[in-house]
C-alpha cells in the first residue's frame, strides 16, 4: 500500500537521507562525483531544503510504501500559470512499484488544488537521464533545452519538459 503526505520542515533530515541514496543512484553514470557532491550540497543540504520550503515556495510530498519512506516529489510556483516539478525521486529498491507514476500524479493534483485554472507544469531533466522516457510516457513534451551554469564550473545539461494541466 502506498500513501503520500505533505512534508514539513520536520522532514528535512528524512528528505536529505533519501536524497543521499536516490540522487547518486540516478546520476552515477551521468555526472562526476565532484558534480554530484556539489549538487547534493546545493539542493539537499538541510539549510538548502529549509530555504526551499520556507522562502522559495517548494512543496514537498513524501511517498510511503508499506509504511516505509520510499520517495519524494516537490513542486514550486514559478510564474502566474506555471509550476515547476523540482524533484521526483524514488529510492532504487522501490523502483518498478509504480511509485514514480503515483508521485507524478500527486504533483499534478497538488498543482490543480493550488491553481484550478489551466496552467503548465514544467521540469528540467538531464538529457541522459533514463527518467526522460518516463516523463514522455506521462504526457510531457520537450519544450526547450539548455546548458545551465550552476556554479563551481558545473552545468546542468537539461531538456525542459512541459505538461498542460
Mean pLDDT over each residue of the chain, to the nearest integer: 97
* CB hemisphere CA count around 108 (13 angstroms): 16
On whether the CB atoms of residues 3 and 69 are closer than 8 A, the answer is no
* Interval 50-84: pLDDT, tens: 999 999 999 999 999 999 999 999 999 999 999 99
- Sign of the CA dihedral with 63 first, then 52, 24, and 10 last: negative
C-alpha cell at 102: 503515483
Q: State pTM to two decimals.
A: 0.95
Q: Measuring CA to CA, how many Å separate 128 from each of 28, 73, 145, 159? A: 11, 20, 12, 9
Give the per-residue pLDDT at 100. Answer: 97
Confidence tier at 115 by pLDDT (50, 70, 90): very high
Provide mean pLDDT across the span 100-124: 97
On whether the CB atoms of residues 108 and 114 are closer than 8 A, the answer is no
Give the per-residue pLDDT at 51. Answer: 98
The domains of the chain, with CATH numbers, are 2-164 (3.40.630.30)
Amino acid at each position: 500500500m502506498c500513501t503520500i503526505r505533505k512534508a514539513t520542515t520536520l522532514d528535512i533530515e528524512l528528505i536529505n537521507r533519501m536524497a543521499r541514496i536516490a540522487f547518486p543512484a540516478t546520476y552515477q553514470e551521468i555526472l562526476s562525483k565532484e558534480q554530484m557532491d556539489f549538487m547534493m550540497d546545493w539542493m539537499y543540504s538541510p539549510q538548502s531544503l529549509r530555504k526551499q520550503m520556507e522562502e522559495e515556495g517548494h512543496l514537498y510530498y513524501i511517498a510511503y510504501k508499506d509504511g516505509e519512506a520510499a520517495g519524494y516529489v516537490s513542486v514550486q510556483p514559478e510564474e502566474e500559470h506555471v509550476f515547476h516539478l523540482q524533484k521526483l525521486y524514488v529510492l532504487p529498491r522501490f523502483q518498478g512499484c509504480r511509485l514514480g507514476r503515483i508521485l507524478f500524479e500527486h504533483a499534478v493534483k497538488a498543482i490543480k488544488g493550488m491553481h484550478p485554472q489551466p496552467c503548465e507544469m514544467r521540469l528540467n531533466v538531464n538529457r541522459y537521464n533514463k527518467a526522460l522516457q518516463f516523463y514522455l510516457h506521462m504526457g510531457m513534451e520537450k519544450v526547450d533545452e539548455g546548458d545551465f551554469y550552476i556554479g563551481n564550473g558545473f552545468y546542468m545539461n537539461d531538456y525542459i519538459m512541459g505538461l498542460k494541466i
